[in-house]
Structure 1
Amino acid sequence: MDQEERLLHASSFGPAAVEYAEHRPDYARAAVRWALEPAPGPRVLDLGAGTGKLTATLLAPGARVVAVEPDPAMLAELRRSLPAVRALRGSAEAIPLPDASVDAVLAGNAMHWFDMTVAGPEIARVLAPSGILAGLWNVMDDRAEWVAGLARVSGSAAVGPRDTPTGWRAETADAHLPGNGAAALFGSPEQAEFPHGQRRTADSLVATLATRAGVLVMPEHEREATLDRIRAFLANRPETARGEFTLPMLTGVLRVRRL
């Protein structure tokens, strides 16, 4: 994805902020605990916080959370759902916080949108010594045969390279770590995966996939054709044709320590 296309996809979520908040999953709590485990203190920045999916999960372990999000519609939804959280307009490339002011920077399904040549030094700036940078991604567990079939039917716009475990491991192994000299400020990356799941119906799973950036930027006729194809697949699978089911997922974590 070139820079222009990346910016188009990254800016596509605002008009779907309400749907994003309703249908996107939270994050496995074990994954959040692992991400924060080496952090030297409780001050956590949720960077690229969106509507607060990760922010809400971070509150459970008692972190002192500040959320930063560039999109005004996503930020408004975060503030509506989590009014007690300090939520600021800003970006990974321009973080509105002082030097060494947080012990961990976490990003939920967001780090791949950052320009890490700029964001890497900026994240290093706000992190305290020995602080943690961690990206978390929810991926569909395609070891389940019907999930693998769904990925094939959906196409890469709805289920992209990072959206299954094998693709996530390859895409995030080192692609989104700090660059532009900031890499020397961080240790070696670690990856871990944690079981997760989301209760869905066929309709709500279609609504979830409709909030993916690749689908949001499609021309309307292509979007509807893609979603109709997914509906037909789900209607013909015994696992998904009737009532609620659990979409098997993993939360994958990529973690590095600030030196």
Structure 2
Amino acid sequence: MVKGELKVEKVYFTYPSRLNVPVLQGLSLSIQSGQTLALVGPSGCGKSTVVSLLERMYDPNKGVLKFDGESLQSLNVQWLRSQIGLVSQEPVLFDTSIAYNIRYGTSFREVSDEEVEMAAKAANIHNFIITLPQDYNMNVGSKGTQLSGGQKQRVAIARALVRDPKILLLDEATPSLDSESEKIVQEALDSARKGRTSVVIAHRLSTIHIADCIAVIKDGVVIEAGTHNQLMEWKGAYYKLNKAQSL
């Protein structure tokens, strides 16, 4: 049975196009099944690189990433990716129906109308879709121009959920939305994480206070890790990041 435990053990990584710029320099992380791990830190510290490595877009130069105790490199890539749902900062929607855009989340099996609707409900977008003249058959336009930023993001969440993934990767999934849209999207993300192992990259620290573990990354290594309350009590790097955002 797939549990969804993740481990990153002493991983070193440099992008092939920038061999003289080390990104990860011995980074280690661990996350139990069903927990949420948040990654924070300055731009370029390696947060998004961790997500890329978990998806097997790259392999580490040194060290190992594990899924349920097995090295990612020993697993079938298609199977691994079928266990992962990704919601990124800029969702790519296609010039076709809402239903097709949601179905696109899984290419390894047929997806029923009921599954599309269930995913939309979980992503907090179903009630909006059924108010449209063509509901799920509405064309979203090129790059989703017929939808607002928050609506596009929730369609992208539904796309990630339609495969019922064990792992959810959220790479800055609440981008520059207005406060009301951000609240709706955040509620959808909170619902989506239930029962799944989640790795969250967030610049807005207010969105990750409830994470089971928050890891602060600097220069490719974890310099602090703990709950929000623990890190605030320690008054270290995370505390300083929070204070800077509250100014």
Assess same fold via TM > 0.5: no
Structure that is richer in helix per residue = 1
Q: Which has the higher contact order (CA 8 A, sep 6+)?
A: 2
- TM norm structure 2: 0.29
